[in-house]
Amino acid sequence: MATTPSGRQTDARDRDDEGRARNARPRDGLGRPLPYGAEGVARQPEGVVRTPEETVAEAQELLDAGRPFHAHEVFEDAWKSGPDEERALWRGLAQLAVGLTHAARGNVTGGARLLRRGAGAVEEWAASAAGRGRPYGMDLTGLTAWARQLAQDVEQDGSPVDARTRGPRLRG
């Protein structure tokens, strides 16, 4: 608990306009919190409803910039706001982006695990959505192969990866 200048006890966590807890600390390009007052990168706004095509395009821009944590937030918005039949796809893509984030931060075990979990989720969704081909132009087969290969590389090397050069091409 913190105390306001008027002496009132408050919760010390950052809050948004609706009173929900939100960490306002600046973040680096991989989503790691920086000290208050440090210059971070702009965060993705939460809860944005985008078309699937906008989601893919914005996420790809962030991945190309080496910002997979932020791409994860874009996928998470699609997962939470999209149609029920596509939620597993967007959740799997978010897991891939978080897996790349962890791999770039040097978390070998977490990165490899999330890359494989995301690949499995995307692959499972693609199998259940037979006949859809390339949803929103995405190469799901290529994405799952990329994720599994990166997971293997991360485990073998043990070093952080460069998110900018090792990020996926969503549309192949």
Best CA proximity match to 137, nearest among 171, 96, 105 = 171
Mean pLDDT for 160-170 is: 97
Which is higher by pLDDT, 115 or 128?
Answer: 115
Q: What is the DSSP letter of 21?
A: B
| Total number of residues shown for the chain | 172
Percent of the chain past pLDDT 90, that is, above it, reads 69
Q: Which helix (H) or strand (E) holds 97?
A: helix 87-105
What is the chain's mean pLDDT, rounded? 89
Which is higher by pLDDT, 22 or 10?
Answer: 22
pLDDT score recorded for residue 4: 45
CB 111 within 8 A of CB 153: no
Best CA proximity match to 121, nearest among 98, 103, 101 = 98
Q: Distance between CA atoms of 129 and 112, rounded to whole angstroms? A: 26
E-state strands within 11-60: none
Give tens-digit pLDDT for 58-92: 999 999 999 999 999 999 999 999 999 999 999 99
101 band by pLDDT with thresholds 50, 70 and 90: very high
CB 156 within 8 A of CB 23: no
pLDDT score recorded for residue 140: 96
Q: Distance between CA atoms of 123 and 120, rounded to whole angstroms? A: 5
Whole-model pTM: value is 0.84
pLDDT score recorded for residue 15: 67
The full set of domain ranges for the chain reads: 1-43, 52-166
Give the CATH number of domain 52-166.
1.10.3450.10
